[in-house]
Each structure stands twice: as structure tokens, then as C-alpha cells.
A and B are shown apart, each in its own frame.
Chain A
Amino acid sequence: MSTDAPHTGQLPDDAEQGTSLWADAWARLRKNRLALFGLGVIIFLCVVSLLTPWIAPYGYEQQNLALGATPPSWQHWFGTDIFGRDLLTRVMWGGRMSLMVGFVATGVALVIGVLWGTVAGYAGGRVDAVMMRLVDILYALPFMIFIILLMVVFGRNIILLFLAIGAVEWLTMARIVRGQVQSLRRQEFIEAAHSLGLSRWRIIRKHLIPNSLGPVIVYTTLTIPSVMLLEAFLSFLGLGVQPPESSWGLLINNGVETMEEYPWLLIFPGLALAITLFSLNFLGDGLRDALDPRSSKD
């Protein structure tokens, strides 16, 4: 998706307004310690995830059956599982998967939701009514049941997992964008673009989407944690990520089975998931306050 800023020279006002908005938002965000902390944690986790294949202390499948499950120690910071595999390594690999699902599925939701909402809001009239009625109907579907059904029925593969989660999460995005676009399309600079003879698609891409970006960014940040929760939940049921791949949900599921004897196998993956969700939610809240000062918390 192209999100280049509107600096085409046709509408210099627009570009100027854009910069000041972003600078303003950044200034507000910088004052919010919790949001900054969240941002820091997310960046740290992303870097670690990217570098995992090179910096993981042990091999992902490296077993040490003689060692077995040991509590945290200097050699194994998070301890080892029943096969003597290093838990820190597995949490790192699991995080790679969890974060990837979070970002990719949110990306799917983002693309569908933004396009759908923009077209509906821009077209208006009957097209809008039909498109939004469809969203309403999909809202009424019991989602958990729907996704479980999809995963059971069509087999358990990652691509489908992305699609299924993305397919569920785009609805709210579409609503937000539609509302935004509806209020934008009556403004003068869109009229001006029209009279300059820009094609509809170009107006949508160059003007409507960039200008409704604020709420979209906020909602995206808040969608990522809910997607990660969904993935963890599905993996916990055995419907999501399949072994030998790993994710935090899967590790938690394994940890629960042996929590009485080896509690660290539950606690560390759980902690990793909770801290990540925590950071993303705080960042999202902070961004909302920064980008969209009118809307209160919730």
C-alpha cells in the first residue's frame, strides 16, 4: 500500500498541515512515559525477533535429554523444558512467530478495511449502504466460532490463519475509515482535486487515505495486540501455529500441561506475551491521545 505523504506540489497547504500535525503528535506522545516505554519494548522485541537466528543462545531443536527440565540458571536464563531444550531460545523463536502473525494479519485487516471504508465513504449513496450493511451482518457472526470453524474445516496452515484473523479484524477499520472519509469528501480540497480533473482512484489514494491516516494508525496499534491474543488463543486450542513451529500461545499451552512440576515453562512465555500486549496497548492509547486529542479514552 502506498502511503507516501501528499507532497505532490499540487496542494502545498495540505503538506504543511501534515507536518505540523505529526510534529504536534510526536510532542504529545513524548510526554507520555508509558507510551514511550511501550514503544521502546516493541522496538526491542522486533530487533530481537529479527536477529533471533543469529543471537539465540542455543539451537532451536537442540535437545539435551540427559539434562531434562531444569529451573532458570546462568546457562539457561529461562530454564529448560522436558527435552532439555533452552526455553529462552524457544521463547525468542515463538516471539518471532507471534509478532509476525500480529503484524501480517493486522496488515491484511488494514488493507481490506481501509480500501473498503474509503470506497464506501467516497461512493456514498446506495453503494455505501450495501457495503456497510454487509459489514453489519459480518459483525453479527459469532467470530470465535467462525474462526474455529475455518481452522477446523480448512486445515491448519499459517496462511489461512492470517486470512482468517485478518478477515475478522477489518470490520472496525472499515467503519472508522468510512466515517473519516465521509467527513473529508465534502471539504474544499477534494472539490479542488475534482475540478483539476484527477481520477477518482487518484483522489482516493493521494488525498483521502493519507488524510484519514491518524485514526487508522491508532486503531492499527490497538489491533495488533488483539490479533496476537487471537493467535495465542488459537494456538492454545491447537488450531493455530503447528509444531515444530512455535509461538507464545503454543508454549503457554505446553507450559500449562506441566505447570505443577515445572512452573517456569508457563511463567516465562506468559510473561513475554503479557509484556508485549501491555506495551502495544499503552502505545496505542498514547497514540490515540496524541493523534486524536478530541477522542477520550474509550
Chain B
Amino acid sequence: MFKFTLSRLLQAVPVLLVVITVTFFLVRMAPGGPFSDEKAVPPEVLRALEAQYRLDLPLIQQYFSYLGDLARGDFGPSFRYPGRSVNELIEAGLPASAELGLYALLIAIVIGVLAGLIAAMRPNTAQDYIPMSTAMIGICLPSFLLGPLLVLVFGIWLEWLPVSGWGNIPGDKILPSITMGSTYAAYIARLSRGGMLEVLSQDYIRTARAKGLPERVVIVRHALRGGLIPVVAYLGPAFAGLLSGSFVVETIFQIPGLGRFFVQAAFNRDYTMIMGSVVFFALLIVVFNLISDLIAVWIDPRLRNPSRGGR
């Protein structure tokens, strides 16, 4: 297990390096810099600014000094928010994004797994079609459409829930969490249905049934474990995505999270902030992929193949 973890972490290093390199040079290739659209900055001020942020050095040198900073966990100063470092900005945005992501994930797992289970128990009947068609609607209603629609119905017409905000009015976390969780719930429903169908047709399930175990025990104790492996594999990247915030949901509901920072950074050409977001997100993906792999190995003993390290 330890060896597996270590080798996966080592594999992640070149991937992260490529991500960093591609983003770094892509951002720098862009016409115009972070200070270029400022109203007529005097040339000496511009030069001082560029010196302060090391923009006057050759690109390669900037690249290596940036890598050096990163290795020490320093994302550098923000270009757009003077006096604040990218680390501080990420710290400021992370709590709201993480909280939202957590609620969305809970909604997604509970609803998704339940719907998938219900559908898989009686395949190709109404009990299958209804939850799966609903899941399809969830996939086809993107958050930038579902969010406003929910606000329109529950916030404006029915006036049951607040239309925006985060942690100010009771209930203002409900609509954003549902908006963000629904697409994931839909995917999880499809994955868990597929996984359960696969498992339910296997011999050990037949054995369990032949033993005369009640259906509930067969499903919960025996089938669920194997049937949810695809879901676990999906949860890793999904959780990374949820945690780093969704720009759309955070904008619609005016939540001060990470997603908004990133898009603002991209529009502002805030080099270090863009880089910081990309690296942070890539790190999250690597870490959560690893965690979901480890959980999969823990659930499914067949994956513990010592000869090939498992996958």
C-alpha cells in the first residue's frame, strides 16, 4: 500500500511539471501584460513594477525562479491585488468553495447512489426509467441554466429561499448546493446503476441469494461494495472540481469563492494568480485521484495485486 502510494505520487511529479510549464509559457505568450491596460503608467513606474515582479528578467530565468518559489510552497505575489500574495487569496476563497463543494457532494452522493440503486433493482421497468430519465435531465441542465431557474422559481416566484448570498440569511446555502450537486448526482446515478447491474449478475450474488439471505442484505452487504467502485473512481476528480469551486454557481449566488478569483485573474492577466489557480487545481486532482484509488483498493480486494502494483 505504501509503495503504491509512493509510486503514484512520483508519477504525479512529471505531470504537474508539464501542467506548470504549459500554463506558464501560454500565459506569457499572450499579447499585453498585467500592467498594459493601466491608464498611462509612466515608463519608469512601469519599469519599477516589472523589476519588483521580476518581469524584466529573461523568460527562462523567470520560469526557473517561479519553479523555485513553488517548490517552497510560495505562489508569489498577486499582480492585481498589490500587497497580497496568491497564497492569501487562495486561503481567502477556499473556505466558501470547500463548504459549498462539500454540501454539493453530499447531495450528489446520497441522491445519486439511491437513484442508481433503485433503478438497478428492477432494470427496464418504470422503476428504472423514471430515475434514469431524471438523471438525464440533471445532465442536460447545466448549472448556468439550472441555477437561475431555481432562483426564479424558489427565490422570486415562491419566495421560499433567498436568491443569493452565503451564510448571511438562513437557507441561502440550499439553492447553490443543489445547483452544484445536481449534475454530479446525475452522473453518480448512472455510474452506480451500471456498477450495480454488473455486480448483481455475478455468481457470488447468486450464492448469497441461494443461501436465502433477504434481498436487503444481499444488496447492502454484498452488492454495494463492488457496485460502487465506478462511483468511487469518479468521486476523486469530481471532488477536486467541487472543492475548487464553480465559477458559475459562485457568480449566480454571489459567493466569495475560488472559482470567481480564477476567472477574474484570467481576465486581468494576473500571471501569478492564474498560475496559482492552475497549480492548485492540478494538485487537488492528483491528491483526490490518489485518495479515490486508495479507497477503491480498500473496497475491492481484487485490486490488491502485489505483482503489478494494482490500478
Contact = CB atoms under 8 A, between A and B. Distances in A.
Interface stretch (B21-29, B62-70, B166-174): B21-29
B145 A148 contact: no
A160 B142 CA distance: 23
B142 A145 contact: no
B30 A153 contact: yes
B262 interface: yes
Interface residues of A, number: 39
Nearest to A271: B145
A256 B148 contact: yes
B217 interface: no
Interface stretch (A59-67, A106-114, A258-266): A258-266
Contacts of A232: 142, 144
Contacts of B267: 152
Contacts of B190: 297-298
B149 A145 contact: no
A229 B141 CA distance: 9
B23 A278 contact: no
Nearest to B197: A296
Contact of A141 (B19, B27, B156, B194): B19
A233 B143 CA distance: 9
Contacts of B274: 149
A56 B230 CA distance: 46
Contacts of A282: 136
A23 interface: no
A236 interface: yes
Given A140-B282, A233-B142, A153 B26 contact: yes
Nearest to B268: A152
B278 A270 contact: no
A158 to B, nearest CB: 19
Nearest to A226: B139
Contacts of A152: 30, 266-267, 269
Interface in B25-56: 26-27, 29-30
Contact of A281 (B136, B151, B247, B282): B136
Contacts of B278: 142, 145, 149
B194 to A, nearest CB: 4
A297 B16 CA distance: 33
Interface string B241-258: 000000110001000000
Interface in A176-199: none
B191 A237 contact: no
Contacts of A149: 23, 26-27, 266, 274, 278
A287 interface: no
A94 to B, nearest CB: 14
A155 to B, nearest CB: 8
B198 A263 contact: no
Contacts of B15: 136-137, 140
A140 B19 contact: yes
B198 A260 contact: no
Contacts of A270: 145, 149
Interface of A: 136-137, 140-142, 145-146, 148-150, 152-154, 225, 229, 232-233, 236-237, 249, 252-253, 255-256, 259-260, 263, 266-267, 270, 273-274, 277-278, 281-282, 296-298
19 contacts: A137-B18, A137-B19, A141-B282, A145-B266, A146-B23, A152-B269, A153-B27, A153-B29, A225-B140, A232-B144, A237-B247, A237-B248, A253-B144, A274-B145, A277-B139, A277-B140, A281-B140, A296-B197, A298-B230
